[in-house]
Structure 1
């Protein structure tokens, strides 16, 4: 009786290489985010690979250029914030402003996604601008604009609330905004995010 090699094509082995690739890619993006936030966008690819626990060759296999890695990082940060806000939408409210109120709640929290986007040492600020950053940011901004436009609040009110929430997120944890001030402002913004009645 021969010893047959194990069957790699069956259900037990199905998808394993894909999962490994996804894990490696996620580890690289996570490491890049940490190091870029700490050291700036000029951090070496070798340092990012070491932080991710992979070879530089593995990094360049997934991201053939620094620009490709930066683009993936921007997309990842944007998706994490989008997912947090979407998960916080309370469908039981069933009135205009649900998305805006979720946005305020998330930005007034100390979430990792909020810090990655809005803190002074954020990944997005560390990457600065450039053709690929600007192009991706423009597409991302359009997605957010569409969500706010569909939220049912008057345009000027929605825009003011959005900018105020972003100001909160940028100042959270700083000497310019205490925890009490953050909570007070969050409560006020959420109250303002209730749709005005028709006679107002």
Structure 2
């Protein structure tokens, strides 16, 4: 019988006669697979809910939305930290809170999470901040995102240039027409 087990993920596989629930004959291999949730062991000692924000990732410059924010949350405490619902992690951008999806961070691990800001203003220098509080205090990171509609600015500049050239052409045409009338009035041959 071949038995493979992965305890951290809670997966076990047995192939061959003698696997649980088999007849025990060697005529045909039987397969047995079970999946169970990972077991977390509670260790005695002080409870430490320390958590640290390793960084806030955001683009420096965008021409329009949506804007992606990413954060790395590291659990440096002794218990798992759940970030669900009202207790969840949020990025604050110019007074607006955008919640990250629900997640859990186990002790000694870190987790990368992302959120999408779907409706940024048309133009701003937006200051984003992520804060998380643990037993060792508050850890926070910030970033600045410049939202500037460069494509609209180029379009406006092109339209202004085209109107200027049109006005210049119309002025020269009008001047040429007036000069023709003046020449005709001076020289009535």
TM-score bucket (shorter structure): under 0.3
More helix by share: 1
- How high is the TM-score relative to the length of structure 2? 0.22
More strand by share: 2
Structure showing greater Rg: 2
- How high is the TM-score relative to the length of structure 1? 0.21
Structure number with greater CO (CA < 8 Å, separation at least 6) is: 1
